[in-house]
Structure 1
Amino acid sequence: MLAKRLAVIGLGLIGGSVARSLRASGAVGSIVGFDPDARQRTAAVELGVIDVAADSASSAVAEADLVIVAVPVLHTAEAFAAIAPALPANCVVTDVGSTKQSVLADVRRVFGELPGWYVPGHPIAGTEKSGVANSLEGLFRKHRVILTPHAQQAPEALAKVRALWELCGARVVEMEPSLHDEIFAATSHLPHLLAYSFVDTLAGIDRSGQIFSNAGGGFRDFTRIASSSPQMWHDIVRANAASVSTILAKQIAELQAMQAMIDGGRWDELKTVFERARNAREHYLTQIE
């Protein structure tokens, strides 16, 4: 058995989906959860996602041998500070944060070091919906989970967290935290920022109602992620600001170059950009999950 008692701190889409997935695997005993939102705690129990809703983060972890911290990245330090006094000996703790350097810094700030029993993680799965009511048992199946082990990492803790995600049906890979943040600034954080910006731009145009009512499938596909939680993505971009700013500057330069092509009637050059982009996407499409 992976864990006799699993504690989930943060009962949103990801935290709820991990609990559902591990329950379905039969690899955990009881599941206790905590969320600062009482409505999420109540819903998690009513939906059978957890067995017990704790009234605090510390009481949730008091008897756990495996803890998953699934809170917004800007609340990492707060969550770890809350559970620190009550963590049992030999308990393994992991997180699901979309940024890793900021999370590692927060954990180090709380404990004065990076504890060997803490394993940094990030599941590459989700939807534009939020809340425990939208959690899914199969959310992580055939998706990647990134682990970013640190220098003080206990091998047995790393092995346990790897097993956790494999039981959820995920494929686990490891990488350096800085590389993780660069990659996901480009492939996740920037796309969300662009989607929000694009919709906001159109909403500010005269006759925006006509624009939206006549939009087709391409608009829906491109802007789907702009329906994601604004607070969550504000937190992610803020936590990974340096990496996001770097890739955003490159994107702005690319857009300015394309604008110059349009204004200058350099249509062959514009077509070349389109062809290069299409070919790149087709080449790497099999690696996109």
Structure 2
Amino acid sequence: MSSVPDPLVPVLAVVGTGLIGGSFAAALRRVGQVGRVLGVGRQPASLQRARELGLIDEIATLPQAAARADLIFLATPVGAMAGILQALAPHLRARTLVTDAGSTKSDVARLARDVLGDRCAQFIPGHPIAGSEMTGPEAADPLLYHGRKVVLTPFEDTPGADQHRLIRIWEATGARVHLMDPAAHDRALGCVSHLPHFLAAAFMAQVVRADDADTRLSLAGTGFRDFTRIAAGSPEVWRDIFFSNRAAVLQELDDFTQVLDAWRAALDDDAHPETLETLLEQAALARRFWGGRNPTS
């Protein structure tokens, strides 16, 4: 689709042109709501590939992005955010809006206040709840965000016009925007996103350590594949997520351990097999009910 005369984002800078950043640019380009796209990153080969794929129009530095872009989208590991904001800050134009795609929000909000100071209102923390185990520019998908939730956690002093502008931009990608408090976001995502990835990765590690790992994996079916799929995600990204949301993940691990102990006791109880069946039935009903309300999950 060709660009409209006045796109929502005349100049977009994407810092990190892999799955998340590349998909954001591709989604806006698909609906003609972006003009020129600048790509910023640490790996020249990845940036060149993003350019070849048409995800970006040119390669830029962080200072160039800050000086030229109307919107800067940070699609990088949370651990890299401090250095990026420090590089952007001296060159940031007054009308430039900055947002991110990090999976944790409290630490990002604190960082923005520390680095940007009284200009932190130009930064609106965000988290698109969409993704894949695939990485790199080749994984970019213009429909990645279609029908998906995007959480924004604006500051109290974020101008309403800027907040509305970013909501319109995300809605142009097909996403559904939700506003949340950063701490509430981190608690919820610690449960439904971060802990599942932690468990999937730990379980995968257990399987491959077994003496007969090859035999086990050769017999694994769709259930094993579905359960462990997310363990293939970027180790760097997930390391940063776990440490940045450590308190919530540790609390969820404690809660899960209590549940696991109860289920183990039910499995060990030969006299009352109905206890385990009841637990399984409760879990099955909960999953079926949730699945019916979330057709895009």
Normalised TM-score (structure 1): 0.96
Specify which of 3, 12, 24 is matched with residue 6 of structure 1: 12
1:62 counterpart SS class: helix
Name the CA distance, whole Å, in 1 between partners of 2:32 and 2:145.
16
Does residue 112 (structure 1) correspond to residue 109 (structure 2)? The answer is no
Does residue 187 (structure 1) correspond to residue 195 (structure 2)? The answer is no
Name the CA distance, whole Å, in 2 between partners of 1:267 and 1:6.
59
Name the CA distance, whole Å, in 2 between partners of 1:7 and 1:87.
12
- Letter of the 1:285 counterpart: G
Specify which of 67, 70, 74 is matched with residue 72 of structure 2: 67
Task: Calculate percent identity across the aligned residue pairs.
Answer: 40
Name the CA distance, whole Å, in 2 between partners of 1:116 and 1:108.
9
Name the CA distance, whole Å, in 2 between partners of 1:155 and 1:163.
12
Given that residues 69 and 96 in structure 1 are in contact (C-alpha distance below 8 angstroms), is that contact kept between their aligned partners in structure 2?
A: yes
- Give runs of ≥4 in structure 1 deviating > 3 Å: none
Give the structure 1 partner of residue 241 of structure 2.
236
Given that residues 77 and 102 in structure 2 are in contact (C-alpha distance below 8 angstroms), is that contact kept between their aligned partners in structure 1?
A: yes
Given that residues 65 and 72 in structure 2 are in contact (C-alpha distance below 8 angstroms), is that contact kept between their aligned partners in structure 1?
A: no
Name the CA distance, whole Å, in 2 between partners of 1:217 and 1:65.
44
Partner deviation per Cα, 1:42-91 (whole Å, 9 max, x = no partner):
1111111000111x211122111111111111111111111111111211
Specify which of 267, 281, 284 is matched with residue 278 of structure 1: 284
Alpha-carbon deviation of 1:113?
A: 4.8
Give the structure 2 partner of residue 101 of structure 1.
106
Given that residues 19 and 134 in structure 2 are in contact (C-alpha distance below 8 angstroms), is that contact kept between their aligned partners in structure 1?
A: yes
Name the CA distance, whole Å, in 2 between partners of 1:129 and 1:166.
24
Q: CA RMSD in A?
A: 1.2
Unpaired segments ≥5 residues, structure 2: 1-6
Alpha-carbon deviation of 1:114?
A: 6.3
Name the CA distance, whole Å, in 1 between partners of 2:154 and 2:179.
7
Does residue 214 (structure 1) correspond to residue 258 (structure 2)? The answer is no
Give the structure 2 partner of residue 20 of structure 1.
26
Give the structure 2 partner of residue 82 of structure 1.
87
Name the CA distance, whole Å, in 2 between partners of 1:284 and 1:76.
34
Aligned length: 288
1:115 counterpart SS class: helix
Specify which of 116, 124, 132 is matched with residue 137 of structure 2: 132
Name the CA distance, whole Å, in 2 between partners of 1:114 and 1:88.
10
Give the structure 2 partner of residue 160 of structure 1.
165
Normalised TM-score (structure 2): 0.94
Name the CA distance, whole Å, in 2 between partners of 1:107 and 1:286.
38
Given that residues 8 and 33 in structure 2 are in contact (C-alpha distance below 8 angstroms), is that contact kept between their aligned partners in structure 1?
A: yes
Given that residues 71 and 79 in structure 1 are in contact (C-alpha distance below 8 angstroms), is that contact kept between their aligned partners in structure 2?
A: no
Unpaired segments ≥5 residues, structure 1: none
- Letter of the 2:286 counterpart: A
- Letter of the 2:31 counterpart: S
